[in-house]
Amino acid sequence: SYVLTQPPSVSVAPGTTARITCGGSKIGSKNVHWYQQKPGQAPVLVISYDADRSSGIPERISGSNSGITATLTISRVEAGDEADYYCQVWDSNSDHVVFGGGTKLTVL
Amino acid sequence: QVQLVHSGAEVKKPGASVEVSCRASGYTFTDYFIHWVRQARGQGLEWIGWINPDTGDSECAQNFQARVTMRRDTSTSTVYMQLARLTSDDTAVYYCARPSYCSTASCPIAYWGQGSLVTVSS
């Protein structure tokens, strides 16, 4: 089955840039979606199809995908960005949804 | 607006089964797949499976294939997920969720229910 690998945690200072990676075999050939989840809340779709921001998501949140790594980039990080972030793809070989293990973003 | 409303919390003993329901509103129920996703406390998202409310077809992750049954009731716009032979490892919040604007299971998931907490304890 297809596996997505994320770093468990990323820590950055406010105002700097956070990059959260999602690794998978030939992930560049797949559509990657990103979810933000804050404590006690359901996940929220922030980026779909590698780089499309959902409505209401600020432009400082962006996505890219190439080769074996997809990346969620958050520029000018704010305290409110502190959350867990999950990448997700569709595995067309199995018709299954696959989530990465999640990355906890800490704003120092 | 799209709403997915879950059934309430459940407490079950090991070995029992649980059925969680999710009632959809605000759209045509049979037009969009529904996913089931769970999350144990402090852990990540784990995909369980999807159901096509139009046909009743479903597909589960390998980890759940022997224990999960998904069904739907089109008269009440409700989907159900039953998990059998529960263990303490099944203690989690169970979410139903709907893809965004496209009508296949492969689309990004834009709408989530509030979740149902299932606790398995002797």
What pLDDT score does A59 carry? 97
State the average pLDDT over residues A32-53.
Answer: 97
* Residue of chain B whose Cα is closest to the Cα of A87: B45
State the average pLDDT over residues A62-83.
Answer: 97
* Sequence-separated (6 or more) residues with CB below 8 Å from residue A72: A19, A20, A21, A22, A34, A46, A47, A61, A62, A63, A85, A87
For chains A and B, CB pairs below 8 A equal: 56
**Per-residue pLDDT tens for B13-22?**
999 999 999 9
Instruction: Closest CB to A101: pick one of B44, B100, B105.
Output: B44
Instruction: Closest CB to A45: pick one of B61, B95, B110.
Output: B110
* Residue of chain A whose Cα is closest to the Cα of B111: A44
**Per-residue pLDDT tens for B48-93?**
999 999 999 999 999 999 999 999 999 999 999 999 999 999 999 9
Residue B96: pLDDT band (50, 70, 90) is very high
Instruction: Indicate yes or no: CB of B47 within 8 angstroms of CB of A96.
Output: yes
